[in-house]
Amino acid sequence: MALDLEGLKAFLTYILTPSAPVFIVGFAIVLLFPILLHFILHGGNPSFTNLPSVLLLGPSGSGKTAILTLFERGAQPSSEKNSTSPAPTHTSQAPGTVELAVSEDGSSSFRDDLDAAGATAKKFLLVDTPGHAKLRRHALSLLAPTASSESAQSKLRSVVFVVDAAALADGDALPTTAGYLYDALLSLQKRMGSGRGSKAPASIPVLIAANKLDLFTALPAALVKSNLEAELGRIRKTRSKGLLDSGVGTDDIAAEENDDWLGEYGSEKFTFKQLLEFDIEVDVIGGNTQGDGPGADKWWKWIAERI
């Protein structure tokens, strides 16, 4: 026991006495500890960072988390499948990610248990992002044409922008929803124009999921599409006028306006078809996560075909 105490005393004396070896070891610990901690926390599931991903965007209350929860819990025991009680959701404050799977041919439903069926599956990540205006920076950064997001972009297969089809009839909801959609589409448009060299970035299709069609006040998908196109056109004109009124030099106005102009430059009306020029496919499909209605199967099929 005396020897142990003496050895401990000698060790403490050595490490507490300033010297070159002590400084080197201490510096190495400080430098390597964060790397080791990251490996421990994230290294246990390498597939979770190497899978293709689908990004869920949309304003708060549109139903993004409800869609993610429905798809995540779709493959449940049959006794739970028929439950009509919706899973509780809440306003997201941080991105949430779940790992999902679809059959190789893309024909499986989110309700299918592919493991139990012994089917070969393709795995992917569904990423739910906060819809609050102050928390959208993370989502838009994944679409921005910056070097820091190239790794995330290479795995991004599609974007699902969720809108509340019942709320769009409200005069206040349409401008705010369309404003967020404008920023997302413009980021994708700029991304497609930022390719270096001869290789163009991979196209990222967009699904506008017109949610909550189970509600009596919900607009049909066709009307959601036309209303959004009209509002995006108004936003485009407003931002162009704001640039003219901002005092920017006349020589620079055309270039800056062109950079922030969504769709066909100079066109009077905006349509989603204009984005095909930038290899951006936009589809508008109605559905719902609870109650009576078309359900979420068409959304799942759209996603599965693009994984």
Which pLDDT tens digit goes with each residue over 165-202? 999 987 789 999 999 999 999 999 998 876 555 567 88
pLDDT tops 60 at residue 37: no
Question: Which residues of the chain does CATH 3.40.50.300 include?
Answer: 52-304
What integer pLDDT is reported at residue 257 of this predicted model?
A: 55
Which has the minimum average pLDDT: 38-42, 43-47, 101-105? 43-47
What integer pLDDT is reported at residue 110 of this predicted model?
A: 85
Distance CA 201, CA 108 (A): 29
pLDDT tops 60 at residue 125: yes
pLDDT tops 60 at residue 246: no
User: Model pTM?
Assistant: 0.75
What's the mean pLDDT when you consider all of the chain? 78
The arithmetic mean of pLDDT across residues 131-147, rounded, is: 73
| HSE (side-chain half, CA atoms, 13 Å) at 251 | 0
How many CB atoms within 10 Å of residue 98? 14
What integer pLDDT is reported at residue 80 of this predicted model?
A: 44
**For residue 50, which of 182, 201, 184, 152 has the smallest C-alpha distance?**
152
CATH fold, domain 52-304, is: Rossmann fold (3.40.50)
The answer to whether 298 and 289 are in contact (CB under 8 A) is: no
pLDDT tops 60 at residue 252: no
1 in helix, strand or coil? coil
What integer pLDDT is reported at residue 11 of this predicted model?
A: 64
Give the rounded percent of residues in the chain with a pLDDT score beyond 70.
65
Distance CA 156, CA 57 (A): 13
pLDDT tops 90 at residue 231: yes
